Amino acid sequence: MKKKTFWIPIIVFIVTTSVLYLCGHLFNIESLKWFNFEETSNGGFTFGGSLNPIIFGFVIGFIAEWIYKSRNKNRTA
């Protein structure tokens, strides 16, 4: 029982984060891309990555854990 409580949110986090980064790459959404690289007009460059998919993954993982625990509590009661 404890193992499922640990693994379900981890798997949901990994899948959610991966899907969001994939969507950012496929549809060219800057706020969902893993790595952004741009050349500036003065010959320099800027780069960076987005943490939005990671944050969304954590939130969805916590929600999945809460739902799993509440359903499990209702089944045992």
Tokens of 56: 């969304």
- Per-residue pLDDT reduced to its tens digit, 23-72: 999 998 988 888 777 777 887 877 778 899 999 999 999 999 999 989 88
Helices (H), the chain: 2-26, 52-76
pTM of the model: 0.79
- Per-residue pLDDT reduced to its tens digit, 2-31: 677 789 999 999 999 999 999 999 998 988
Q: What are phi and psi of 47, to 5 degrees?
A: -145, 160
Write the CB contacts of 56 (distance below 8 Å, at least 6 apart in sequence).
Answer: 16, 17, 20
